[in-house]
Amino acid sequence: MTITFRKERLDRGIKARSADIYALASWRELAYLLAPRMLLIGGVLAFPLLRGLVDAYWLRVMLMACTIALLALSWDLMASVGLVSLGQAMFFGIGGYITGYLSSTLKWPPFITIPIATVAGALLCATLLYPVLRLRGIYFALITLSLPQLFERIIEATKILGGTDGMSGLTPLPDITISLYVIIAVLFATFFGFRRLIDSDYGLVFKGIRDNDRSVIAAGINIYWYKAQAVFIAGLPATFAGAFMTHYNQFVGMSSFAADYSVLPLTSTVVGGIGVFAGALLGAFLLVPISEVLRAYGTLRVVIYCIALVVFVVGRPEGIFRYAQRKYHQFERPVAVEE
Amino acid sequence: MANPILQVDHLTKRFGGIGAVYRISFDLQPGEALGIIGPNGSGKTTLVNLITGFVKPTAGRVTFRGREITNLPAYARVELGIARSFQMVRPFYNLPAFKNLIIPLFSPRVGKRVGGKSGNRDEVAMHLLEEVGFERDSQVPYKVASSLPHGYLKRLELARCLALEPELLILDELFSGMSMSEVASVLPLIEKIREQGTTIIMVEHRLRELFRIANRAIVLNFGEKIAEGKPEEVIADEQVRKAYLGSEDA
């Protein structure tokens, strides 16, 4: 007779529950549900208050993380309708340039230019992408990859909008604490808004188009119109991020179309978990600070960064968020089995 | 005769040099049930694709209720009232069965009637599933589509069409792959739909079922229409027997 061990998985969760309705029986269960959510939300909200305690540099890193998180949410919503984008920088750059133009020529204040740039930018992006919405997978990805570069070259070649010098001396935002709270508020609004949207019947159409567009057509739905709506909605946080950072930096230039703004959101979503917006957030809040810490290692940072990416894509394709969620709700223990 | 609901006029489709459908014409009166039969590869599904807009014709015209729809995109034809089932079912595999119907219930054709953007479609979906034979009290409507047997997926496909409240219902080999008992449960439903005045086109290999529904049939062979008439007469036709049943078949 040998004794072997097998893993037993226990559900740590709340006993009485359906898909999304929980019957709370105790404070313990309430805490169990709320703790991880409050920890993350509270952590983000409390961070700007650490102003006196941490270096101002880290507040700027936080701002960057929020920016990338907005772009990552944008990427994830586009992916939910089956559009894989390699060019979120286009949204970022267009938002930045619209607000830059309005601010430098018309001298409008940021609380007017940023909303205009957000909506007009998203509308412009949706219009620009409309002709290629019938492309799928790698073909669509290739087009989006080339568009930010196209804009860079147009600005370089025609010297419009400040050419290679960009536009500087734009109206600054109030101090960094207020700026941080504004972008955090927008980030949470986007996150909860997107989550609600994708769980609605409207969002179901998005996922339907991604999984099986032929059946959506047969259901009498114009999938290109829906894809355009998805690009517009997804564009809003991304163009906002561009407009916001433009005012923060008091400058907009060709660097707004830099590949960083396409690659970082994409990798954040992959590391955090595709298809669950919390994953995109988590990914951005992990990757951006890590990449800052790695800055000390010079060029080696890219190598470390790449290795981490490969490990995640190969080892945990579900992403950190789903992994952590599973570990939180279930725990495993070895149980002796007699044979 | 009254105005035909559907007119197909010299419809032709070539894939490369090969003619899949060649100069096919027929009229369909409202409330009629037309059967389309023919051997494998005779162009039946291509004809359905041409009528529903999933494939653009090389030549010819399609008119629906007096309006030319030859160049109308597929989704717009659904909005006019043409719904089709697919021979190869492809549901939303990772959605529960009843959630599969939310998307058609969201379409412009019926979306307003079931509550607009925020309406409760789940109840309507459950009702539709019940109609095609999903037992409401069982777990089946809540099961993920990928876990359902083929017969249920076929019925889900039918429910998807019915959700669109079609005026012209096109069934592309709905009964293929269904068990006898499943056929027996779905057949009365199709008869009921026909009696309610919905025009039906059915492409079918199972002639027994076809005879029960269709009052007229056309036979395709190599993309051409070789016979048209009452189903029993058509099947007795010498040319049809040769093409479809094999010449020595009695």
- Check which CATH number belongs to the domain holding B202 and give it: 3.40.50.300
| pLDDT, average across residues A116-121 | 97
What structural domains and CATH numbers belong to chain A?
Answer: 3-16+27-338 (1.10.3470)
Cβ pair B117:A220 closer than 8 A: no
Residue A178's CB is within 10 A of a number of other CB atoms, namely 11
B62 neighbors B26 (Cβ within 8 angstroms): no
Contacts of A205 in chain B (CB under 8 A): 103, 106
Residue B211's domain spans which residues?
6-81+166-245
- Report the distance separating Cα B63 and Cα B57, nearest Å: 13
In a domain, B214, yes or no: yes
Percent share of chain B, pLDDT over 70: 94
What are the helix and strand counts (H, E) for chain A?
A: 13, 4
Nearest by CB: B106 against A201, A211, A217 = A201
A295 neighbors A301 (Cβ within 8 angstroms): yes
Query: Mean pLDDT over all residues of chain A?
Result: 90
| pLDDT, average across residues B1-19 | 87
pLDDT tens-place string over residues A9-63: 777 766 556 666 666 777 887 888 888 888 889 999 999 888 888 888 899 999 9
pLDDT tens-place string over residues B180-227: 888 998 999 999 999 999 999 999 888 888 889 999 999 999 999 998
Question: What pLDDT was estimated at residue A151?
Answer: 95
pLDDT tens-place string over residues B49-95: 999 999 999 999 999 999 999 999 999 999 999 999 999 888 999 99
Contacts of B90 in chain A (CB under 8 A): 212, 214-215
Count of the separate structural domains present in chain B: 1
Question: What pLDDT was estimated at residue B250?
Answer: 41
- Report the distance separating Cα B49 and Cα B71, nearest Å: 13
Question: What pLDDT was estimated at residue A52?
Answer: 81
Give the containing element (helix H, strand E) for A306. helix A300-315
Cβ pair A222:B93 closer than 8 A: no
In a domain, B136, yes or no: no
Cβ pair A219:B90 closer than 8 A: no
Contacts of B171 in chain A (CB under 8 A): none
Question: What pLDDT was estimated at residue B66?
Answer: 92
A301 neighbors A291 (Cβ within 8 angstroms): yes
In a domain, B250, yes or no: no
Give residue B66's region: left, alpha or beta (phi > 0; psi -120 to 50).
left
- Report the distance separating Cα A274 and Cα A268, nearest Å: 9
Neighbouring residues of A2: CB distance < 8 A, sequence distance ≥ 6:
A338, A339
- Report the distance separating Cα A124 and Cα B206, nearest Å: 53
In a domain, B77, yes or no: yes
Nearest by CB: A215 against B79, B91, B117 = B91
- Top pLDDT among A131 and A334 is at A131
Taken as a whole, chain B contains a residue count of 250
In a domain, B22, yes or no: yes
Cβ pair B91:A217 closer than 8 A: no
Contacts of A211 in chain B (CB under 8 A): 92-94
Q: Is B84 within 8 Å of chain A by CB?
A: yes
- Report the distance separating Cα B228 and Cα B212, nearest Å: 17
Question: What pLDDT was estimated at residue B249?
Answer: 46
Residue A248's CB is within 10 A of a number of other CB atoms, namely 20
Question: What pLDDT was estimated at residue B139?
Answer: 87
Parallel, antiparallel, or unpaired: how do β-strands B224-229 and B216-221 relate? antiparallel
Nearest CA in chain B to A213: B92
pLDDT tens-place string over residues B105-163: 999 998 877 766 566 788 889 999 998 988 888 889 999 999 999 889 999 999 999 99
> Helix, strand or coil for residue B78?
helix
